Amino acid sequence: MASDKKKSVKNYILPVIIGVISLAVGLWLSQQILMNTNDTRIPKNLDATVLPNARPLIGFSLIDENKQTFSPTQLKGQWSFLFFGFTNCPDVCPTTLKVMQSVWKTLPTKMGDTGHPKLYFISVDPDRDKPETLKHYVQYFNPEFKAATGDLNELDKLTNQIGILYGYDEKEDGNDQEYIVNHSAQLILVDPKGRMRAVISPPHVAKTIAANFQTIRLFYGDK
């Protein structure tokens, strides 16, 4: 009984900690923007946190849904959204990908057009989310969507740069395939130079995300 209570408390505390730290990261980014309110490089009146100085993403190597290398090189040449989660996620991940499905329908551009973004679903559950699993999962929402994962060291090289947090609940006795991964729910917008340009925090609304993206894209351009 005591063990069950301890496990229950632990499973409750982990997502709370991730939520609190994620909020703190968002507030910090907002403060950075407020300190640069006279910076003409920042579009105003957005429901997104735009970084005054875009942050290059460097030094990670993952594997995509086609078993090809996913590194900073793949983020260059187009706008990209990054979302972190796992395919066994019961709520946040499918809900967010459903929202992004609607975003793609709202965007005025199509695949192959200048300025049309990519979406990468980055799994923080590499033990269960193999490339073929990820491919089937993301293409259920949109055939354009991409995915990637990798060992935890490589994942941390990426997540640590952009303030994404994740952690594992204790696995159930006798079943190492049944567990929940708690993770941040922000969308990360990456510019065509492969730099973190903005953070979009939940709740996610398709029309708002599409409008914010178009404003940011037109403000900074596609190069």
Model confidence over 83-95: pLDDT tens digits? Answer: 999 999 999 999 9
Give the pLDDT of residue 21: 52
Q: Taking residues 163-191, report their average pLDDT.
A: 87
**Phi and psi based region of residue 72 (left: phi greater than 0; alpha: psi -120 to 50; beta: remaining):** alpha
Residue 29 has pLDDT above 60, yes or no: no
Q: What domains sit in the chain, N to C, each tagged with a CATH number?
A: 2-220 (3.40.30.10)
Higher-confidence residue: 16 or 87?
Answer: 87
* More reliable by pLDDT, 52 or 79: 79
Cα 176–chain centre separation: 26
For residue 122, give Cα distances in angstroms to 6, 17, 46, 170. 31, 21, 25, 22
DSSP 125-153: -TTT--HHHHHHHHHHH-TT-EEEE--HH
Average pLDDT on 33-55 reads 75
Question: Helices marked H in the chain — which ranges?
Answer: 2-34, 92-106, 131-141, 152-162, 206-220
Q: How confident is the model at residue 41 (pLDDT cuts 50, 70, 90)?
A: confident
pLDDT mean over 143-165: 97
Q: Report pLDDT for 170.
A: 76
Confidence of residue 1 (pLDDT cuts 50, 70, 90): very low
Q: Please report, rounded to a whole number, the percentage of residues in the chain having pLDDT higher than 70.
A: 80
